[in-house]
Structure 1
Amino acid sequence: MKNNILPGVLAMAAIVVASNILVQFLFGQWLTWGAFTYPLAFLVTDIMNRVYGREAARKVVFAGFVVGVACSFVGTQITGEFGPLVTWRIAIGSGLAFLTAQLIDIAVFNRLRDGSWWRAPVVSSLVGSSVDTALFFTIAFSASLSFIEPANDVSWAGEVLPLLGAGPSVPLWVSLAVADWLVKLALALLALVPFRIIVGSLTRGTT
């Protein structure tokens, strides 16, 4: 089976670029449009892992990481109404969360790949998504990590409000993280449909 990872690299790059653009646009009170495109990165990783193996999936992830770093760097150089479009905390959080979560996704998938067809993509995506959300929002917005970029005022993210507008009182960034996490979980389940279809198509085309 030939390791043709170029489509995976292009798909991952497109998702990363689109998510970096769409994250600038709000969807409701707790989300951005990027929350609906970024989780597709886990779908791409899992498809590559299932069809071409762990090493191919890692190459796709590292390609996505490089594209993400480039997008973040460009964002730090563009000044919007409230300062740089991408702060260094967001850039660091985004890159570290992406790389860590995707590599964990690959490791978990590989441990479960011999079970039922749906088990590996579901569990790996859920674990990876949880790690991704926790790392990104903590690094980017937690007051305890303000030393990373002292000049960046993220006090707005620490405003104490009811969780998602109805739960216990928590910092705003926690509500943002929970909303993002719930979307990732929902999309991880919905992604089983394209995962099954695409894997089946690629497997038939490479055997």
Structure 2
Amino acid sequence: MTRILPGILAMAAIVVASNILVQFLFGQWLTWGAFTYPLAFLVTDVMNRVYGPKSARRVVLAGFVIGIICSFIGTQIHGEIGPLVTLRIALASGTAFLVAQLIDVAIFDRLRKGAWWRAPLASTLVGSILDTTLFFTIAFAASLTFLEPANDVSWANEAIPLLGAGPIVPLWASLAVADWMVKLSLAIIALIPFRMIVDRLRAQAV
């Protein structure tokens, strides 16, 4: 457990930071949390490459527990229109994180013997698609209103052009696409620190 403690601490920091920064808007479609949360995939992949899938899953589970704690705290803090974290947001966040990260671990492990960049890139891309789809659908889709009838998500279902210029879709679809585009960009950029961190950890282990 000691050897993966840095990974657990890094994951905890990312989860906590993302839960705080998601409260602050960045432009029309994003929050600042969109730029920190994708780093969770980097941490998972580094742990997977250096210590294996079992250790990576432990880091993921630690992040999941931290996320639950953050969601609980958020439900106790009330803003102008209610609690900062609703039941649907908490359910969406926890489900998306756990499913996406565990799928990331599985795909990475399957591809680990290929080119060094293939496993982290493929696993992060698939994981980020799942994460984005699960979170925004569970949190905002009108068809899932029964999950929390008292939570009014009509604002997220306003019909507008996709990202302001595409076909007419619910607002939350634009938020989801913008969020995934950030994840996609960071998945590519993160290949550089991934290689550097892995090489350093392996050198320290020698």
Q: TM-score range by the shorter chain?
A: over 0.9
Structure 2 partner of 1:58? 57
Aligned residues: 206
The question of whether the paired residues in 2 share the 8 Å contact of 1:98 and 1:132 is answered with: yes
Quote how far apart the aligned CAs of 1:3 are.
6.6
Q: Can you list the C-alpha shifts for 1:149-191, whole angstroms capped at 9, x where unaligned?
A: 0000000000000000000000000000000000000000000
The question of whether the paired residues in 2 share the 8 Å contact of 1:137 and 1:173 is answered with: yes
Quote how far apart the aligned CAs of 1:148 are.
0.3
2:100 aligned with 1:98: no
The question of whether the paired residues in 2 share the 8 Å contact of 1:3 and 1:52 is answered with: no
Map of 1:1-207 to 2, 5 A cutoff?
4-207=3-206
Q: Can you list the C-alpha shifts for 1:4-39, whole angstroms capped at 9, x where unaligned?
A: 000000000000000000000000000000000000
- 1:9 maps to a residue whose letter is I
Q: Can you list the C-alpha shifts for 1:30-69, whole angstroms capped at 9, x where unaligned?
A: 0000000000000000000000000000000000000000
Give percent identity, aligned residues only: 74
Q: Alignment partner of 2:151: what SS?
A: coil
Quote how far apart the aligned CAs of 1:110 are.
0.4
CA distance in 2 between counterparts of 1:117 and 1:57 reads 17
CA distance in 1 between counterparts of 2:40 and 2:136 reads 18
What is the TM-score with the length of structure 1 in the denominator?
0.99
The question of whether the paired residues in 2 share the 8 Å contact of 1:88 and 1:149 is answered with: yes
Listed as ranges, the gaps of 5+ residues in structure 2 are: none
Q: Alignment partner of 1:71: what SS?
A: helix
Task: Show structure 1 runs of 4+ deviating over 2 A.
Answer: none
Listed as ranges, the gaps of 5+ residues in structure 1 are: none
Q: Alignment partner of 2:3: what SS?
A: coil
- 1:98 maps to a residue whose letter is F
RMSD, aligned α-carbons:
0.8
- 2:137 maps to a residue whose letter is T
CA distance in 1 between counterparts of 2:83 and 2:2 reads 40
CA distance in 2 between counterparts of 1:45 and 1:170 reads 33
